[in-house]
Amino acid sequence: MSTKTVYFIEGDGIGPEVWGAARPVIDAALEKAYGGDKKIEWIELLAGEKAYKETGEYLPKATLDTLAKAQLAIKGPLQTPVGKGIRSLNVTLRQVFDLYACIRPIRYFEGIESPVKRPDLVDIVVFRENTEDVYAGIEWSSESPEAKKVIDFLVNEMGAKIDPAAGVGIKPITPAGSKRLVRRALDYALDQKRDLVTLVHKGNIMKFTEGGFRQWGYDLAEEDYAGKVVKEGEDAEGKVVINDRIADAMFQELLMRPEQYSVVATTNLNGDYLSDALAAQVGGLGLAPGVNMGDKLAIYEATHGTAPTIAGKDLANPGSILLSGAMLLENNGMEEASDLIINAVEKSLAAKRVTVDLASQITGAEQVGCKEFGEIILANL
């Protein structure tokens, strides 16, 4: 028998509801697939509002110390406390543990009615850089002494033209950060036999940050993947192709020709937009799994927010955290259990008894609560 330890954080808002509906499905899938030979030991960690009520801290030291030694965790959405001096609990976890790759596989589930004509053509994995760009940005407010000092330097020392009343921000993007993200995307494509990795950027405007990301990705492919990865237009037989697209053009491409793309590697803000836009084509964030992954620790998570307006009302969709759990199983040698969950979700959608977010997208659907939807998926295992 093999047992993996997975730490879980319920999350805020709808977090406890979606986790409560999803966890029994994950446990049942493991039991059905392996009959007790493969198990997960769940250990709860505190973060967010629950942690604050019990410890007076939103991210207790005990939680951070445990995660520093951990390999696997899963979490619900965390609310960033307003006016508490914390920028974002989610971003803090990513930066403290250097979870530099946000990986989001986006695919179509039969039965979902979409705002696009051919949602069934969407099967794309987005690799979003997690620790740089605007999410690690530094900014100063308009008319502040700091902004005036930076503007003065840029104008007088660097010859820039900036309105003296401007707010000022800096977005750092590095060769090392870009290359390790692109490396993960290329390794994934090679391992999963996907034939294309697309670098998405705004390098036509921001040539040394966004454009740097593009160039560093190509440099990595040429230096470390010779014979395995080729540029667009070269002989691609038996190899992975690497190409690039401008971010705004890529939005149109993913709406009109999603079948032409397979793996996307991109900067933080671009990845945020693109992954959410892709999810909207196939049912929304309620069916979108994700993981924030570093070299030592992977935190799987619901990709939606805390949805405080529906918290406690049994309206939330547990699909995102459940499919993130299935992703965790797949990535850790429990593919059979993961497949059981995916198939059960598909059966449940086909039966048209779904939560409110999905019922609004499926003609003739019956709305059920979060808890009942979890039970329906469980029965369909």
Determine which one of 135, 188, 261, 300 is catalytic: 135
Q: Measured between alpha carbons, how far is 308 from 301 in angstroms, rounded to an integer?
A: 17
CB of 131 within 8 A of CB of 153? no
Active site residue 248: yes
- Residue 94 known to bind ligand: yes
The residue to which tokens 């190409």 are assigned = 243
CB 339 within 8 A of CB 367: no
Cα 54 to its chain centre, rounded Å, is: 29
Is 144 known as a binding-site position? no
Find the catalytic residue in 98, 123, 272, 276: 272
Kindly report each contact of residues 140-149 with a partner whose C-beta sits within 8 Å and lies 24 or more positions away, as own/partner.
140/167, 140/168, 140/169, 141/167, 142/166, 142/167
Annotated catalytic residue, options 248, 276, 314, 339: 248
**Residue 272 marked ligand-binding:** yes
DSSP line for 315-337: ---THHHHHHHHHHHHHTT-HHH
Task: Please check if 104 is assigned to a binding site.
Answer: yes
Catalytic residue of the set 38, 75, 179, 202: 202
Question: Is 135 considered catalytic here?
Answer: yes
Catalytic, 202? Answer yes
276 catalytically annotated: no
Please provide residue 187's backbone torsions phi and psi, each rounded to the nearest 5 degrees.
-60, -40
| 128 is an annotated ligand-binding site residue | yes
- Which residues are known binding-site members for Mg(2+)? 272
- Which residues are known binding-site members for D-threo-isocitrate? 88, 90, 94, 104, 128
- Which residues are known binding-site members for NADP(+)? 317
- Which residues are known binding-site members? 88, 90, 94, 104, 128, 272, 317
> Which residues are catalytic, by number?
135, 202, 248, 272
